A and B are shown apart, each in its own frame.
Chain A
Amino acid sequence: MSDAQEALAQAVREHAGRLAAALMSLLGDFSAAEDLVQDAVETALRRWPVEGVPERPDAWLFTVARRRGLDMLRREANYRAKLAQVIWPIMPEPDDRLRLIFTCCHPALPREAQVALTLRVVCGLTTPQIAAAFVVPEGTVAQRITRAKRKIADAGIPYRIPCGEDLPARVNEVLTVIYLLFNEGYLATAGERAHRRDLVDDAEWLAALLHGLMPDAPEVGGLLALIRLHRARTAARFDAAGHLVLLADQDRSLWDHDGIAAAIRLLTRTAQRHLSPGPYQMQAAIVACHAEAPRWQDTDWEQIVVLYDMLLLLAPSAVTRLHRAIAVRHAQGPRAGMAQLDRIGDALYRYALFHATRAEFLRELGRHDKAQEADRRALELTANPAQQALLEERLTWA
């Protein structure tokens, strides 16, 4: 994305969600508020690149939304009267976007709809942008959003921050959505990034917003630190040809060391305030271990294995056990790593990274035929061109 596009995206992101929250309190109708914001955002994306970002983007967006609202809602006298009376800013109230986030990520909505709604309503993405980011047809995204808005209205999904005992589970639901966005963006290749919106930006921005609004929720701090630690390595993750560079081969001088230090401070602050860390904090701690090692061979693998053990207690998963197996391989050798892999083969039979890892261990154990077989299986399973290229290279040179 160019700098101008980036600035535009930034301006929209900063203001679209606020406008949605404001219109939502004004109209009390999620769907109507969302339509108006989307319309204002589309207008901005057409006009700002030509006219420049206005001095007060929030007021500009509001004016467009208001004019459109008065026009569109002609029959809805009630809304029109409300819109006609107000001036921007509607009221200097505390940031209302938290309610917006919880509504978009309500567990009664399917995951894809949560993701699409959050991007559209909170981050101000348009339907075509969301479709491009996930490589799905626009109609599919539009339908997900329409259905979700209808369900919000018809099923009585509330527009509010969940109460006490429900809150932790609901925060987790939001974190899952943000983490999914992050993964989708992080695994995109350099080539894809050039003409695709970087969802990593949106994920970090959302996590930071949520952290600002809920500074006491430990896992929110954990996820924000995790995203920032990963991002700090961006410059070293792809080579000039756009190929993925493995952690072991990355030029660590390209890492953003200030960014790493800041993320680790955030993680430490979060940990100090709460006794039992959650899964996102554990993952961030693991990434921090890597980020703190000056060279690959300085990595504290023993510590990483311990952190994976703790993570598995909190959130058992076969994929986490795969990563643990890799750590075990580095701490204790390929034979020990292989023993761990054998125990998760059934669960991860359809997972490319499992076979790629297995190929690596087999090669280290001198079993080249088996290794090639595993490489081939991994190649069949991966859709990401950079990962595929890496595996293809290995097949050729093995």
Chain B
Amino acid sequence: MKYVLMFIETEQFEKDLAAMDADERDSAFEKVGRWLAEHQDKITQRGAKLQPAHTATTVRLDTGSEPLVTDGPFVEGKEVISGFLEVELADLDEAIAMVKSWPGCPVVEIRPVEG
């Protein structure tokens, strides 16, 4: 089955990351790099790290009149999607097991892909 893993950052996580010195940040990135390498065979080519939330633009089409263009992510909140990966796995338990060892941001949503 195909799943999309959505990586979600929190305000606290951003603060922690900002408070790290260069060495700590390198080591954090290295951990993520290692995790990606370990799971390479399960990761399809689709996926990306997104630019931070302040770069987001949302267009609402259900306003009844003209589409409404606003600054920021679609849900204004403390948790924002910061990246996604598509993975090919046998079942949800494999996805949960894979996500449990994710060394980056503190929340991950697992969604099966339709079809």
**Chain A residues within 8 Å of B, Cβ to Cβ:** 106, 108, 154-158, 160, 162-163, 166
- Bound-complex Cα distance A154 to B110 (A): 12
Binding site secondary structure of chain B: mixed
- Out of B1, B95, B97, B110, name the residue touching A166 (CB < 8 Å): B97
Return chain B residues, CB-CB under 8 Å to A163: 93
A-B contact pairs, 18 of them (CB 8 A): A106-B92, A108-B96, A155-B92, A155-B110, A155-B112, A156-B1, A156-B89, A156-B91, A156-B95, A156-B112, A157-B91, A157-B93, A158-B90, A158-B91, A158-B92, A160-B93, A162-B93, A166-B97
Known: A155-B110, A162-B93. 10 other contacts (CB 8 A): A106-B92, A156-B1, A156-B3, A156-B112, A157-B91, A157-B93, A158-B91, A160-B93, A166-B93, A166-B96
Instruction: Tell me if B92 and A157 are in contact (CB < 8 A).
Output: yes
The CA-CA distance from A160 to B90 in the complex, in Å, is 12
Q: Smallest CB–CB gap between A93 and chain B, Å?
A: 21
Which residues from B are CB-within-8-Å of A154? 112
Question: Is A158 in contact with B112, judged by CB distance below 8 angstroms?
Answer: no
B97 adjacent to A108 (CB under 8 Å): no
- A70 CB to closest chain B CB (Å) equals 29
Residues in chain B near residue A156, CB distance under 8 A: 1, 3, 89-92, 95, 112
Query: Which of B89, B91, B92, B95 has the most CB atoms of chain A within a 10 A radius of its CB?
Result: B92
User: How long is the Cα–Cα vector from A303 to B91 in the complex, in angstroms?
Assistant: 47
Q: Bound state CA distance, A108 and B95, in angstroms?
A: 12
Count of residues in B whose CB is under 8 Å from the partner chain: 12
- Residues of chain A within 8 A (CB-CB) of B3 are 156
Q: Mark B85-112, 1 if CB is under 8 A from A, else 0.
A: 0000111110111000000000000101
Write out the residue numbers on chain A whose beta carbons fall within 8 Å of the beta carbon of B96: 108, 166
CB distance from B42 to the nearest CB of A (A): 14
CB-nearest residue of chain A to B112: A155
* Closest chain A CB from B40 CB (angstroms): 21
The list of the 9 closest CB pairs from A to B, nearest first, reads A158-B91, A156-B1, A156-B91, A156-B92, A157-B92, A155-B112, A158-B93, A155-B92, A154-B112
B84 to chain A, nearest CB (A): 17
Within 8 Å CB of B95, what residues of A?
156
Q: Tell me which residues across on chain B come within 8 A of A157, comparing CB atoms.
A: 91-93
What separation, in Å, do the CA atoms of A162 and B93 have in the docked complex? Answer: 8
Residues of A near B92 (CB, < 8 A) are 106, 108, 155-158
Q: How many angstroms between the C-alpha atoms of A212 and B110 in the bound complex?
A: 34
Q: Complex: how many Å from CA A160 to CA B93? A: 10
A246 → chain B closest CB, angstroms: 45
Docked pose: A166 CA to B89 CA in angstroms: 17
CB closest residue in chain A, given B97: A166
Question: In whole angstroms, what is the CA distance A163 to B93 when docked?
Answer: 9
CB distance from A109 to the nearest CB of B (A): 10
CA A162 – CA B96 in complex, angstroms?
12
Question: Once the chains are docked, how many angstroms separate the CA of A157 from the CA of B97?
Answer: 13
**B1 neighbours in A (Cβ, 8 Å):** 156
Cα separation A156 to B91 with both chains bound (whole Å) = 5
Q: How far is the CA of A108 from the CA of B110 in the complex (A)?
A: 10
Task: Among B91, B93, B110, find the residue whose CB has the most chain A CB atoms closer than 10 A.
Answer: B93
Q: For the complex, give the distance between the alpha carbons of A154 and B91 in Å.
A: 10
Q: Which residues of B contact A106 (CB under 8 A)?
A: 92
Q: Could you tell me the distance in whole angstroms from the C-beta of B95 to the nearest C-beta in chain A?
A: 8
Q: Across the interface, which residues of B come within 8 angstroms of A155, CB to CB?
A: 92, 110, 112
Looking at the assembled complex, report how far the CB atom of A110 sits from the nearest CB atom of chain B, in whole angstroms: 15
Segment 48-101 of B: residues with Cβ below 8 Å from A:
89-93, 95-97
Per the bound structure, the CA–CA distance linking A171 and B91 in Å amounts to 19
Residues of B within 8 A of A158 (CB): 90-93
- Whole-angstrom distance between the alpha carbons of A160 and B1 in the complex? 16
Complex Cα spacing A155 to B86, Å: 14
Bound CA span A108–B112, Å = 13
A104 to chain B, nearest CB (A): 14
B45: min CB distance to chain A, Å: 21
